[in-house]
């Protein structure tokens, strides 16, 4: 039976955005009833339950409420309404240097943070050497932290957070600050926490990190939860929303509008090894051909148009891309009306996974005539001789020692 470690019910949080820039502005606004103030809803009726041992990623565009939700869970902010119930000790690694006093040394800040987290002086002394060793800044431990670089801040903050025996670790977009070796050390520590059954709540704009670390992802938009699922499904939803936003902005930009018109009418996929699956039209084995059957209509003859076909996973990583103009060097004939054709990708050595197709039709000036994201989906299933996005048949030979 799952044990709840975090339970949020009907959370709401609104911030007031002050527009006054001077004492005069404040005085005028006060007399006018603060007409220049605006409110921003960061959290809007959030319900969220996280169980012991789960690694949950909070993702979404800037301003979606991710960091606010993390702070409310950590007790840094109080909600305007609703409540959060937590179990066990929570260690929060939030804003850069949060919880550090700039005029205190690294040593003094370690004991200060430990006391805030409920540790006794004796317990903090027991963890001290491990914290300093993990941070790698022993030479600067007796220097005031206001002289630390951003990387040193993160090293010390992360070291404190993970060495005070937390039941729940909150991490907010700080791993991107440290250098690559330290990031690897942090990821290793997070994996150790996962193996020990601890709970991790992770905010990041890195889809790769969320997919790699988390077993569940929650998508927030405008302060609401719009998806709560596996990382692949949640990040796929997030990416589709991003693309819709980009497409909408392009539609209002008259400089990208082509005088020609074209429309992708139909696409379906086929493969010689395909078999029926409830979730996918095509399920193929590694090394099979993949065929795209396309129908594109043109209202008039479009000169030198081009077609791009991209095979992507649901995180948006492109594995195969074929462009009639840029990669194949073809000159497509000016055709009016409905055009039907087939594109074949032979011997596609993709590893096991779920994939989607992106189609783009462009004119001679590379202006988009029509585009379909997730125009089709397919899956690759086969013997798991190797793991990863590329399939191969490993061979091992043993050589006699000389």
**Looking at the domain assignment, is residue 392 inside a domain?**
no
- Indicate if 213 and 67 belong to the same structural domain: yes
**Looking at the domain assignment, is residue 334 inside a domain?**
yes
DSSP letters for 186-243:
HHHHHHHHHHTT-EEEEE-S-HHHHHHH-SEEEEEETTEEEEEE-HHHHHHHHHHHHH
**Looking at the domain assignment, is residue 150 inside a domain?**
yes
Which domain does 323 fall in, by range? 259-380
Per-residue pLDDT of the chain (402 residues; tens, 9 = 90+): 788 999 999 999 999 876 666 666 666 666 555 555 678 899 999 999 999 999 999 999 888 999 999 999 988 899 999 999 999 988 887 765 567 888 999 999 999 888 877 788 898 899 999 999 988 899 999 999 999 988 888 888 888 888 888 899 998 876 666 677 887 888 888 899 999 999 999 998 888 788 888 999 999 999 999 999 988 888 888 887 877 776 666 555 555 677 888 999 988 899 988 765 555 678 899 999 999 899 999 988 888 899 999 998 877 788 999 999 988 888 888 888 999 989 899 999 998 888 889 999 999 888 899 988 888 888 888 877 777 788 888 888 888 776
- Indicate if 295 and 219 belong to the same structural domain: no
Torsion of CA 159, 154, 98, 116, to 10 degrees: 10
- Indicate if 206 and 329 belong to the same structural domain: no
pLDDT at 117: 75
| CATH number of the CATH domain containing 276 | 2.70.50.60
- Indicate if 186 and 85 belong to the same structural domain: yes
**Looking at the domain assignment, is residue 397 inside a domain?**
no
Report field, pTM of the whole predicted structure over 0.75: no
CA pair distance 302, 364, nearest whole angstrom: 8
- Indicate if 62 and 205 belong to the same structural domain: yes
Strand, helix or coil at 92? strand
Number of residues written out for the chain: 402
- Indicate if 265 and 204 belong to the same structural domain: no
- Indicate if 211 and 330 belong to the same structural domain: no
**Looking at the domain assignment, is residue 359 inside a domain?**
yes
- Indicate if 333 and 221 belong to the same structural domain: no
Strand, helix or coil at 121? helix
**Looking at the domain assignment, is residue 102 inside a domain?**
yes
Q: Running DSSP on this structure, what letter comes out for residue 350?
A: B
Q: Ramachandran region of residue 235, left (φ > 0), alpha (ψ -120 to 50) or beta?
A: alpha
pLDDT at 14: 94
pLDDT at 32: 55
CA pair distance 89, 293, nearest whole angstrom: 56
**Looking at the domain assignment, is residue 394 inside a domain?**
no
**Looking at the domain assignment, is residue 391 inside a domain?**
no
- Indicate if 310 and 357 belong to the same structural domain: yes
| CATH number of the CATH domain containing 229 | 3.40.50.300
- Indicate if 193 and 278 belong to the same structural domain: no
**What are the start-end ranges of the H helices in 20-170?**
23-31, 66-73, 106-116, 121-135, 150-162
- Indicate if 15 and 159 belong to the same structural domain: yes
Q: How many domains does the chain have?
A: 2
pLDDT at 246: 65
- Indicate if 236 and 311 belong to the same structural domain: no
């Amino acid at each position: 039976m799952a044990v709840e470690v975090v339970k949020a019910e009907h959370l709401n949080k609104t911030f007031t955005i002050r527009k006054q820039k001077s004492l005069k502005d404040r005085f005028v606004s006060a007399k006018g009833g603060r007409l220049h103030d605006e409110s921003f809803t960061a959290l809007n009726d959030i319900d969220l339950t996280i169980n012991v041992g789960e690694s949950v990623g909070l993702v979404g565009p800037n301003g979606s409420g991710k960091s606010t939700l993390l702070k409310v869970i950590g007790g840094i902010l109080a909600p305007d309404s609703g409540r959060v119930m937590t179990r066990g000790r929570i260690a929060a690694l939030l804003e850069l240097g949060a919880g550090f006093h700039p005029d205190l040394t690294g040593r003094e800040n370690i004991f200060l943070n430990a006391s805030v987290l409920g540790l006794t002086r004796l317990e903090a002394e027991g963890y001290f050497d491990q914290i300093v060793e993990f941070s790698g800044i022993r030479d600067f431990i007796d220097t005031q932290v206001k002289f630390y670089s951003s990387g040193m801040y993160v090293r010390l903050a992360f070291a404190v957070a993970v060495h005070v025996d937390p039941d729940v670790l909150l991490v907010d977009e700080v791993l991107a600050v440290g250098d690559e070796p330290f990031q690897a050390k942090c990821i290793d520590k997070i994996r150790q926490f996962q193996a020990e059954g601890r709970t991790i709540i992770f905010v990041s704009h890195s889809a790769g990190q969320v997919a790699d670390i988390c077993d569940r992802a929650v998508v927030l938009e405008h302060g609401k939860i719009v998806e709560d699922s596996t990382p692949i499904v949640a990040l796929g939803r997030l990416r589709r929303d991003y693309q819709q936003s980009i497409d909408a902005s392009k539609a209002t930009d008259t400089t990208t509008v082509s005088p020609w018109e074209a429309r992708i009418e139909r696409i379906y996929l086929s493969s010689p090894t395909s078999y029926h699956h409830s979730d996918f039209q095509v399920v193929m084995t590694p090394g099979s051909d993949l065929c795209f059957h396309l129908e594109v209509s043109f209202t008039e003859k479009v000169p030198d148009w081009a077609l791009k076909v991209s095979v992507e996973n649901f995180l948006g990583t492109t594995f195969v891309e074929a462009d009639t103009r840029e990669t194949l060097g073809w000159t497509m004939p000016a055709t009016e009306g409905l055009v039907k054709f087939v594109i074949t990708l032979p011997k596609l050595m993709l590893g096991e996974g779920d994939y989607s197709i992106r189609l783009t039709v462009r004119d001679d000036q590379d202006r988009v005539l029509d585009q379909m994201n997730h125009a089709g989906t397919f899956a690759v299933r086969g013997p798991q001789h190797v793991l990863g996005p590329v399939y191969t048949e490993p061979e091992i030979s043993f050589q006699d020692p000389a």
